[in-house]
Chain A
């Protein structure tokens, strides 16, 4: 079966760095997405990785290792507004998105 695993909840301190991991087992791979979802709001796109390596976009970076079935989202200089759920999703061989259950990130002052 197809599976996406990510931690249920993480806590970090304002100004610090946090890494949210995602491991996947899917039938085929056509890219991995990270989305941010604030409580009561729509998910919004953060990043897309299809090749191995690190993609940096401001305070957020996303890493992919296809051979390990592994990705992480790195958030630097954490701000209170970064408190949200972070969703990992993989596009499989049919270009259908398989979603993880999301990681709820709590930022403390």
Chain B
């Protein structure tokens, strides 16, 4: 596979469930990102990892927990979510943590919290 892949593509979960989103990049990049995309709103940066180390946590509620076991894989663990957390969750990667590099996005996970 090439590029950035995400699984699952769609997820419906109840507020008491625990689930995980997975992201994998096959580009040899060192920086990885989690974004939340809600309708008609700007992309919200949630977490940033650089060489497996978390560098940003933009005031994200603790019900979202990221994990980066290596430079190619990124997870987002979800528990006790709220209906307002329903959104498209996008993973992205870039060669370096430098805002002059384009980011490559995965197709996203469409999350619905019931």
Contact = CB atoms under 8 A, between A and B. Distances in A.
B100 A30 contact: yes
Contacts, number: 51
B40 A33 contact: no
Given A41-B107, A42-B105, A43-B105, A48 B45 contact: no
B108 A42 contact: yes
Contact of A95 (B40, B100, B105, B108): B100
A95 to B, nearest CB: 3
Contact of A42 (B40, B45, B100, B107): B107
Interface string B72-108: 0000000000000000001000000111101111111
A87 B102 contact: no
A32 to B, nearest CB: 10
A42 B102 CA distance: 13
Contacts of A8: 40
B99 A101 contact: no
A55 to B, nearest CB: 13
A13 interface: no
Given A41-B107, A42-B90, A95-B97, A101 B102 contact: no
B4 interface: yes
A87 B108 CA distance: 16
A50 B108 contact: no
A33 B106 CA distance: 18
Contacts of B40: 8, 101-102
Contact of B99 (A41, A43, A97): A97
Interface in B44-63: 45, 48, 56
A99 B100 contact: no
Contacts of A99: 42-43
Nearest to B48: A96
Interface string A78-103: 00000000010101101111111110
Interface of B: 4, 40-43, 45, 48, 56, 90, 97-100, 102-108
